[in-house]
Structure 1
């Protein structure tokens, strides 16, 4: 895989407050440069949600309402997040969820494309017993010694997803082949379905 052929791409992860629809409490956006996660230029935002974090969500990502009380509301970070994401492809694990949450919080924003490492893993590792992020970390033996923070926090999960994407990309000869396997139908960047040949 020639990483210099890739468009600008950010691996993103979002943590929410556990309500439906979710409010964002943490966003991470990790750039990939020539096949390497660039943690120096990553963006990470903690956000005070308008509705308190549920106990279940807090048990997952370990962010409590007390942790977030002094953080800015979404309105104060929205344009900074938008500026970082604008023009970039995004990648996430089960990316449709992250894409829909971001689109709801950023009216008018749409990325050129959305890479889903869950979809890609199902195509690449058919033999894996499960395809959630924890199972794939174990299945692939990813080295997360340099990952920032802890599992289920946005920066850590974005870093793990980035390494997973790069590992799987080794199985695809071109960016276009990766896109065909990784972009869910109906999301930005999805290849057009092949047309049946006709006589006219």
Structure 2
């Protein structure tokens, strides 16, 4: 894989307040450049949700209402997040979720495309018993020694997802092959189905 051929790509992860639909409490966006996560230009935001964080959500990601009480409301940082994401490709694990939540909070944002490491893993490493982020970390053993924060924080999960993406991308010769394996149908960047040449 020639990583220099990749378009601008951000690995993203979001954490919510536990309601349905969720309010965001954390967003992380980690650029991948030349086949490496570029933590020097990564961005992350904590935001105070409109509705309180549920006890279950706090148990998962560790962010409490007290932690977020002095953080900016989403409306105060939305333009900044939108500007950082811009029209880059994004990648996430189980990307439907992250894309849907971000799109709900940034209605005018549209990435160039969406890679999903969950979909990619099912093609690249078939026959695993599970494809959760934890299962893939256990199976592929990426180097997470420089990952910020801890598991289930957006910054950690984005870093882990980036390392998994890079490792799996090495199994493909071209960007187009990676896209074909990793972009879910119906999401931005999905390859157009081939037209039947016999049809007018």
- What's the TM-score once normalised by structure 2's chain length? 0.98
Alignment-derived partner of residue 7 in structure 2: 7
Following superposition, the deviation at residue 143 of structure 1 comes to 1.5
Q: Secondary structure at the match of 1:189?
A: coil
Following superposition, the deviation at residue 37 of structure 1 comes to 0.4
- In 2: Cα distance, 1:63 partner to 1:199 partner: 56
Q: Secondary structure at the match of 1:72?
A: coil
Alignment-derived partner of residue 53 in structure 1: 53
**Unmatched 5+ residue regions in structure 2?**
none
Alignment-derived partner of residue 193 in structure 1: 193
Alignment-derived partner of residue 176 in structure 2: 176
Following superposition, the deviation at residue 87 of structure 1 comes to 1.6
Alignment CA distance shift 1:184-1:199 (3 Å): closer
Root-mean-square deviation (CA, aligned residues, Å) is: 0.8
Asked whether 1:128 is paired with 2:128, we answer yes
Q: Give per-residue Cα distances to partners, 1:153-182, cap 9 Å, x unaligned.
A: 000000000000000001010000000000
Alignment of 1:107-186 (within 5 A): 107-186=107-186
Following superposition, the deviation at residue 52 of structure 1 comes to 0.3
Alignment-derived partner of residue 29 in structure 2: 29
- In 1: Cα distance, 2:55 partner to 2:133 partner: 22
Following superposition, the deviation at residue 199 of structure 1 comes to 5.8
Asked whether 1:19 is paired with 2:19, we answer yes
Alignment of 1:43-122 (within 5 A): 43-122=43-122
- In 2: Cα distance, 1:85 partner to 1:192 partner: 24
Q: Secondary structure at the match of 2:53?
A: coil
- In 1: Cα distance, 2:166 partner to 2:90 partner: 14
Report how many aligned residue pairs link the two structures.
200
Q: Secondary structure at the match of 2:29?
A: strand
Q: Give per-residue Cα distances to partners, 1:19-45, cap 9 Å, x unaligned.
A: 011100000000011111011111100
- What's the TM-score once normalised by structure 1's chain length? 0.98
Off by >2 Å, runs of 4+ in structure 1: none
- In 2: Cα distance, 1:54 partner to 1:26 partner: 14
Following superposition, the deviation at residue 146 of structure 1 comes to 0.7
Following superposition, the deviation at residue 127 of structure 1 comes to 2.3
Q: Give per-residue Cα distances to partners, 1:117-144, cap 9 Å, x unaligned.
A: 0000011111221100000001001121
